[in-house]
Chain A
Amino acid sequence: QHEVDKLYKVESRPALSTSDQFCFLVRPRIKTMRYIADIVNADKMSGRSRKYKIIFSPQKVSLTVLCCHLPHVTCDEWSFYLLPLDEDIISMELPEFFRDYFLEGDHRWINSVARALQLLNSLYGPFGKAYGIGRCAKMSYELWRDLEEESEGDSQGRKPEIGNVFLMDRDPDYVTALCSQMVYEGLVDDTFRIKCGSVDFGPDVTSSDKSIKVLLNAQDKVFSQIRNEHFSSVFGFLSQKSRNLQAQYDRRRGMDIKQMKNFVSQELKGLKQEHRLLSLHIGACESIMKKKTKQDFQEMIKAEHSLLEGFDIRESTSFIEEHIDRQVSPIESLRLMCLLSITENGLIPKDYRSLKTQYLQSYGPEHLLTFHNLKRIGLLTEQSAGETLTAVESKVSKLVTDRAAGKITDAFNSLARRSNFRAISKKLGLIPRVDGEYDLKMPRDMAYVFSGAYVPLSCKIIEQVLERRGWLGLEEVVRLLNGNEFSISDSAVEDNPAWESQRVILAVFLGGCTFSEIAALRFLGKERG
């Protein structure tokens, strides 16, 4: 009845069409607004009169409301907050979140997070306990409680299905996000980029001349078995599977008509499916291998592990320098530099200067801006000799007078905050001590996601807090992580350990999380029930 003529992607190209109504379903972004404005203006210039409707998802942002003052344009919202990507992953699909909040200090998405929590709450009943760490986590939680109070409380009376929720900012743990991933799903993401639960495999993977887009989730029988495995186990598994497949097909030889008929009608489809999946994943593995051997992966992992553990720092720094000199990859070079900076609490000034210069020479002088942004966020800093914390603090306190802004904000946080990675690592035992070989096939802790070298900090925190049902005993760690932790239980919900829902945990990463962390959490889930 509404007769959609055609669907277009919103871009800078003019939209040619004969219909006199345009409907835009977009994310609230300035860039998109500009495209739309261009289209509207182009129409105006050519004398076309049309009606336009813009639907923002998940919600309007004050910025974009300005655009709604164009003639013939009306705006609306579609509150689509959560996208289930898999049986145990939900995403809000807001890639701008990290930059907007952590770099620019803009709180615009906190409302979205709060609403998403509200949504989950109303669908799945009240959460038992809420834990969190980080400023953004705290704010989101507070806003959510605020919204919850006002609403009709229609989650009352609903049986709670989620036991606990854990809100975590990205910034207590940048290290994990900076490490090279070793689990299959992580490597696929690093190599091909998984977007919205699906990935594009090119001709070199499909062994044909087409590229295809593949959905990667628990439905893919092959994928679901290898996704969380360390890459070293994957080969064994795939070869085993292909041998089985071969055996299955070979059974055909001894069959009579009736059996063959049965085979074709019942089993063949499943086998074909499996065959297709297997060949895709084998192709993907090959691509990954090729890419890694080309890039000196082995040496890079060695450097990363050294940085995590804290020795051979000079060697690692030289490796990074060479990496930059060889113009291997702008992102990888930066990633390594940030890892060095965070684990070592900043680069020594000499190194900072020289690596920065070399980076600008290798990858382009405009990255001067990149370095400044990274410094602001605290990902790539210099060890400052002179300026002590107290000097900065007193300068700041002179400016900050009123109660609303009483807390020191993120901009100053990066000065006030020191990385403290080594101390935290020691306290939480993030670097496992192993006698003999670390068994990657039957791992005994979450460190397997990084070949046994390091337990992801974020996951470890989650594990510890859930175990202790609070932050008791972790005070030192919290201090090293710059505070902002909380642990709140809903008095209306009884803390009944017998309830099955208690076993369900919702972990929310504000700012994104890696597949390695997901794999580690799945491991934890399996281990602890």
Chain B
Amino acid sequence: MSRARADEEEYWHSSKFRAFTFDDEDDELSQLKESKRAVNSLRDIVDDDDDDLERVSWSGEPVGSISWSIKETASSSTSSLEGRDSSLQKGSSSYAAFPKQVSSYSLSSLFKGRNKLPSFQSLSDALSDTGIKNYAPELRKPKADYKDYSSDWSPKDTVRRMQRGKVCSLERFRSLQDKLVLLDEAVAGHDGNVITAVLIFLKRTLRREILFRELEVRQVALCHLIHFLKETGEQKLLLDLLRFLDRTEEVALSQYREHLNIQDVEKRREFLKGCIGLPFSAEDTSHIQDHYTLLERQIIIEANDRHLESAGQSEIFRKYPRKASILNMPLVTTLFYSCFYHYTEAEGTFSSPTNLKKTFKIPDKQYVLTALAARAKLRAWDDVDALFTTKNWLGYTKKKAPIGFHRVVEILQRNNAPVQVLQEYVRLVEDVETRLNLATKYKCHDVVIETYRDLKDRIQLTAYKCKVERGSAEEDKINSILNN
């Protein structure tokens, strides 16, 4: 679906999107600031002493009480998300939306409703000394409920019983045929716990090859077994299974994943070296190679720099002591570090930025962006200048950048570059409107004046006069232009 250019312009300029912006100039922000001031000024009136923020938990119990802590404990153990290779999990609990009205049973009846369902309240009650009778018996359910050794349940019934939480002995399913029927029933019943439980049993009582062979044609069960093996850390069996299924890439990934468990850097490096030969796709192999090379470099740089730092001779390290080690950092971060601490080094050394650029084939855009950020932080404006200056064949210098100059300005501004420096780059912003915006925002008067002059916009130029200081060089400039 492509739209005509004109359409686009119109589209973006339609107030649909002006309806809301996050720009600083927005009236609404100042409105907000005003309200904040208003509210803050009321603080004096409001007596803060007895306003001891009474934190009350959702069940109405004051914070700090046992029942509240229980909830806290439960919810915080719920909140740990897996670290590394996390797929996106946005609000990933099973939510249900329940509209408000009508119910003669309030939501609290979820808890008080029936005896069978021990309520949150009664648990806390139990622990704080009252009403224990409600809860304790639940914990001591008659054994009969749990264990059931009666022998004649069919596979289907066994599965059903397991779904309802009863522990069943699966020993009586001896023949392969029986076991498979049991497994198929479990899969048909949709309950993953039952499927896994049956698999645990099969894993114990079947020969590997047979199990693998049967699972190859049962996808759902297969997924469950793989997940189970991953969780229990039975790496060897998992890899064997994956190899059997000819899922070579997964074998490689599974092994590669192990590197996350190796804390010692040297060992990790060795391990990564070993990973290079694994059956990855061609592309991924080069990524693994890069990973290894990067870590190797980082170890060298780290050792060197730590030495330099402690020797105390190097000025840069004295002025900006390192807050963290460079080990296991991403490439771009390493590049930044290198541009920060080792900018002037020749290409030959392992820690020089140019060496990194060459070794890892870092594109110009990325390189310039990172070097800029590092030099700007050090306020090395000359270096920044040199980044963008190229000599053409006639010997003339010219400024150009693989990233937009508005980006350059943004980064410089974030590092509090002086106006004279900023001005140089604002001047180079191609898009006129952006240039004017930035120049006005950052008070680069000369640029504003020049631009209006080029646009031959007398009105704006005159209007801009009030933004410059009286009697300043800028005012003179404006006047002289207006008078010509």
Contacts and interface: CB of A to CB of B under 8 A. Distances in A.
Contacts of A197: 58
B104 A161 contact: yes
B227 A507 contact: no
Contacts of A66: 200, 232
B94 A109 contact: yes
A430 interface: no
Given A25-B73, A106-B227, A111 B32 contact: no
Interface in A412-459: 412, 422, 434, 436-438, 440, 451-453
A276 B53 contact: yes
B211 to A, nearest CB: 15
B91 A372 contact: no
Given A88-B99, A365-B291, A97 B365 contact: no
A364 B330 contact: yes
Given A62-B193, A437-B19, A80 B120 contact: yes
B455 interface: no
A90 B98 contact: yes
Contacts of B42: 245-246, 249, 275
A12 B391 CA distance: 60
Given A95-B78, A289-B32, A368-B287, A335 B194 contact: no
A26 B77 contact: yes
Interface in A114-170: 116, 119, 122-124, 139-140, 142-143, 146-147, 150, 161
Contacts of B28: 232, 235-236
Per CB-CB distance, the 4 closest pairs between chain A and chain B, nearest first, are A105-B223, A107-B192, A108-B192, A369-B85
A242 interface: yes
Interface of B: 1-3, 8, 12, 14-17, 19-24, 28-29, 31-32, 34-36, 38-40, 42-43, 45-47, 51, 53, 55-58, 63, 66, 69-71, 73-82, 84-105, 107-110, 113-114, 117-118, 120, 123, 126-129, 132, 138-139, 141, 160, 163-165, 184-185, 187-197, 200, 216-221, 223-224, 226-228, 230-232, 253, 256-257, 259-260, 283-284, 287-288, 290-291, 294, 328-333, 360, 362, 365-366, 369, 403, 407
A283 B39 CA distance: 10
A484 B2 CA distance: 33
A77 B85 CA distance: 31
Contact of B95 (A124, A366, A503, A513): A513
B24 A293 contact: yes
A27 interface: yes
A30 interface: yes
Given A105-B224, A451-B19, A61 B114 contact: no
A44 interface: no
Interface stretch (A13-21, A402-410, A486-494): A402-410
A4 B86 CA distance: 37
A350 interface: no
Given A2-B127, A89-B96, A286 B32 contact: yes
A146 B75 contact: no
Interface stretch (A307-315, A383-391, A467-475): A307-315
A509 interface: yes
Contacts of A327: 330, 332-333
27 contacts: A1-B132, A4-B128, A30-B232, A32-B77, A63-B232, A99-B92, A177-B88, A195-B79, A197-B58, A215-B57, A232-B19, A239-B38, A245-B42, A246-B42, A301-B17, A302-B12, A322-B403, A325-B366, A361-B360, A365-B294, A366-B260, A408-B219, A434-B16, A437-B15, A437-B16, A506-B97, A512-B93
Given A239-B31, A353-B283, A437-B19, A150 B160 contact: yes
Nearest to A313: B2
A461 interface: no
Nearest to B113: A123
Most buried by A among B36, B129, B196: B36
A362 interface: yes
A355 interface: no
Contacts of B32: 235, 238-239, 282, 285-286, 289
A409 B223 contact: yes
Nearest to B407: A322
B227 A100 contact: yes
B74 A62 contact: no
Interface string A296-329: 0110011001000111100000000010011100
A518 interface: yes
A9 interface: yes
Contacts of B89: 95, 98-99, 512
A504 B294 CA distance: 58
Nearest to B1: A310
A93 B164 contact: no
B103 A161 contact: yes
Given A84-B107, A95-B79, A368-B284, 15 more contacts: A25-B70, A63-B228, A90-B96, A92-B93, A104-B227, A106-B223, A108-B193, A109-B94, A150-B160, A242-B38, A369-B85, A422-B1, A452-B16, A511-B94, A512-B95
A326 to B, nearest CB: 7
Contacts of B185: 404
Contacts of A245: 38-39, 42
A401 to B, nearest CB: 5
Given A57-B74, A245-B39, A298-B23, A123 B110 contact: yes
Given A88-B98, A353-B283, A99 B105 contact: no
